[in-house]
């Protein structure tokens, strides 16, 4: 099944596409160990934002793929949409 690629030159279209894909896979991604959130935004590389729209997966701690169970590995892309895993530490509600 061929999917349309996410193009950096059209951020509105890329964002909408990434949001649609995120909605389809959100429950599956959130069920993985260590995952605490999911959203859509710009990919980060070396602590700097890029212009690449991606599905952002928030984890308490980044771990090497070799240390994760197969079912807990977050894919690097979903339906041609890049996935960026970002470490956020432990999250607790305030209020």
d(C-alpha 29, C-alpha 71), whole Å: 10
Indicate whether 7 pLDDT > 70: no
- In this predicted structure, the answer to whether residue 86 has a pLDDT above a threshold of 90 is yes
CA–CA separation, 15 vs 76, rounded Å? 17
pLDDT the model gives residue 2:
42
Both structure tokens of 95? 């209020």
- pLDDT, tens digit, for every residue of 24-83? 999 999 999 999 999 999 999 888 888 899 999 999 999 999 999 999 999 999 999 999
Domains of the chain with bracketed CATH: 11-87 (3.30.300)
């Amino acid at each position: 099944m061929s999917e349309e690629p996410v193009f950096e030159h059209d951020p509105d279209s890329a964002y909408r596409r990434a949001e649609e894909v995120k909605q389809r896979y959100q429950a599956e991604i959130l069920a993985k160990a260590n995952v605490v959130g999911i959203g859509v935004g710009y990919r980060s590389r070396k602590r700097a934002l890029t212009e690449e729209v991606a599905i952002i997966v928030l984890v308490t701690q980044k771990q090497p793929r070799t240390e994760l169970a197969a079912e807990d590995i977050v894919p690097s892309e979903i339906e041609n949409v890049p996935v960026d895993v970002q470490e956020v530490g432990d999250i607790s509600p305030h209020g």
